[in-house]
Structure 1
């Protein structure tokens, strides 16, 4: 008798639930991520957190759907949740080359790039007024080929990738971390999921595993996933199936360096409360902890924040889709989620502590100029805001920071690179 059956019969016998109500209660406990396991579950969840007698049979036909779901998914939670800190997934390229090479002149090239799960500028429903959720293998492979070509052209030693997929339905079930390792000169990788589910029931997304990755020419000795706070402006059901963002921290064995770390993050884009503040604070505190211990780091990612002093905090009209309407209220609202950067007190200055404490790839006075914009939602337009960054507690070679804006059709984010001087 498996643990699903044990749970079902305990709910039936101990709580005297009717069969359909017991199925509903069991499925609710399981889907919400509570670990199945008979009396342990009902003792901890029915007695303390749940009133299991409140469950009534759902409408006709629903119990059958739930039973089939439990069978097909082995009674495992549909959505993967994470501990506050846990080990990241480590990768290795099929063919290793040059991993023991000492960095030339004690300098390394670093890149940060949100690759939009390798769909280029195809019209995804979530961010570009598109309607598609699923993309073909040919479409994804074409985009991966272009991304790999750009990586090989720029030849970074370490890459911080965001929005990279592993075996997701929407991107033809390709493990993009492994594929990029095998088609570039990078040798090792670490991955931390921000969105992992056996099935996302809305919009046909299906199974998904998307997140952040660090790729390196040198071995990654260890890596950990640091959980970021969940959004505070969503209902419980939406939150259950929504993104669980993270900070990915990896220790890299660069020859001659004892304690070198790479830190990658992708903070919230669409929260309308102060969730983004909490994400940036956690990122900053992670860097601060490394720095105060006397270690060195390179860090960055898609921070979904504009640089302090940016000309505009409002891109609602630039991003507006044909059926949408914004700025119609007396107070200037409503605003488009993800396009407005003044949702809470001091949001436009959110990155000021990072600029004050560490060295950016792109100096602040340059970061607000058009030549260093890194994002736009419209592939036919030009880059119109900066959201992507690299910071380090080391020195950056003067004028080595670049924003590669000739990648407009490769992603909705431009890669940023810089040359960092090792101690």
Structure 2
């Protein structure tokens, strides 16, 4: 081989290795199962058997508010906005705090909480919320994290978490990695790494309560990623036993009728048969399938930023729970939350049997 070709080959190989090392250094590489840190005050009370537990589940859209159509809000990626203003984030923070304090839940499950993202001025939104809400315990897990994303609408650092606050003691916390959307290695490296955050609340005199928090993918059209993520979610639930409860933004409709109600353009986000059936075969849900069939509008939890949506138009946020947990009163808080996020908070009371 001529020396010049050898030099070119070595240069190309070196460049490739360098780019691979750079991409790896910029992106997040969690293990399939890893412990997460817990913050708890020394006097955090321990949950008692038979005690009611009020839980609020809410995707807070990184405190952006409802005044935007972000680029990803449209199926073709053409939304005009890339970030919220400082004023919008400050206002939305106070509104999120107001709603949570008004509901006064024992446990809060939040999705889309930004930490050190360029688009939100590198705020630590978990810390901002913790300081104002004053819960005894908390834990969180990243599901999008990179020092720099080369997407033309981002071009900077990203950090997004699920966050769980609890009035009661948490003694264990784990992050479970969910299957990724199929893509080329570079795209996948910078993309979301969806996950389940599991925390365990000890209960006096019996097995603890496993509370999970998740946010499944939203842009998996044409792949089997949603099915795989739901299968993994069911497996994680099964591994926790009967005292288990999960809440989150599942980005899945409850049934075919819910899909039919959407404009044709928006139906493309969902498969005709909902992947949630995989969980519903074994676990109860709130809202239940019967509730969403009888009174669908009562249980709408998503108000898309897409201009086609004139108000909340679908249910994609849920609780699922095991046989050791009984559900009580539950509702979607709608009347004063329509301008806070593109999701509405879902609130329910539970009791460990």
Shared fold (TM-score, shorter chain, > 0.5): yes
Change (3 A) 1:204 1:358: closer
The answer to whether structure 1 residue 107 and structure 2 residue 52 are counterparts is: yes
Change (3 A) 1:418 1:256: farther
2:72 to 108, 123, 126: 126
Change (3 A) 1:348 1:18: closer
Q: Which residue in the other structure is 2:304 paired with?
A: 377
Q: Give ranges in structure 1 of 5+ residues lacking alignment.
A: 1-14, 34-76, 320-334
Q: What is the SS of the residue equivalent to 1:186?
A: coil
Q: What is the SS of the residue equivalent to 1:366?
A: helix
Q: Which residue in the other structure is 1:26 paired with?
A: 17
Query: Deviation digits for residues 184-233 of structure 1, max 9, x if unmatched?
Result: 1422221111110001112134111102122111232121111111112x
Q: What is the SS of the residue equivalent to 1:182?
A: helix
CA distance in 1 between partners of 2:250 and 2:194 (Å): 11
User: Counterparts of 1:65-76 in structure 2 under 5 Å?
Assistant: none
Write 1 or 2 for the structure with the bigger share of strand. 2
Q: Taking CA–CA contacts closer than 8 Å with sequence separation of 6 or more, which of the two structures ends up with the larger relative contact order?
A: 2
The answer to whether structure 1 residue 116 and structure 2 residue 107 are counterparts is: no
Is the contact made by 1:136 and 1:172 (CA closer than 8 Å) also made in structure 2?
Answer: no
CA distance in 1 between partners of 2:14 and 2:185 (Å): 21
1:307 to 254, 266, 270: 254
Is the contact made by 1:181 and 1:187 (CA closer than 8 Å) also made in structure 2?
Answer: no
Query: Deviation digits for residues 120-155 of structure 1, max 9, x if unmatched?
Result: 113222215632223333321211110011010001
Moved more, 118-127 or 17-26: 17-26
The answer to whether structure 1 residue 188 and structure 2 residue 137 are counterparts is: yes
CA distance in 2 between partners of 1:255 and 1:131 (Å): 52
CA distance in 1 between partners of 2:201 and 2:195 (Å): 19
Q: Give ranges in structure 2 of 5+ residues lacking alignment.
A: 1-5
Query: Deviation digits for residues 380-408 of structure 1, max 9, x if unmatched?
Result: 721111000011121112xx110112211
CA distance in 2 between partners of 1:255 and 1:180 (Å): 29
Q: Which residue in the other structure is 1:90 paired with?
A: 38
Q: TM-score, normalised by structure 1?
A: 0.73
Change (3 A) 1:29 1:155: same
Change (3 A) 1:287 1:104: closer
Shift of residue 352 of structure 1?
A: 2.4
CA distance in 2 between partners of 1:155 and 1:254 (Å): 21
The answer to whether structure 1 residue 361 and structure 2 residue 290 are counterparts is: no
Is the contact made by 1:191 and 1:248 (CA closer than 8 Å) also made in structure 2?
Answer: yes
Is the contact made by 2:23 and 2:186 (CA closer than 8 Å) also made in structure 1?
Answer: no
Moved more, 81-90 or 196-205: 81-90
Q: Which residue in the other structure is 1:263 paired with?
A: 212
The answer to whether structure 1 residue 216 and structure 2 residue 166 are counterparts is: yes
User: Counterparts of 1:171-320 in structure 2 under 5 Å?
Assistant: 171-202=120-151, 203-232=153-182, 234-255=183-204, 258-272=207-221, 273-291=223-241, 295-313=242-260, 315=262, 317=264, 319=266
Q: How many residues align?
A: 335
CA distance in 1 between partners of 2:135 and 2:212 (Å): 17
Q: TM-score, normalised by structure 2?
A: 0.86
Shift of residue 103 of structure 1?
A: 6.0
Q: Which residue in the other structure is 1:389 paired with?
A: 318
CA distance in 1 between partners of 2:297 and 2:36 (Å): 36
Shift of residue 270 of structure 1?
A: 1.0
Higher-Rg member (1/2): 1
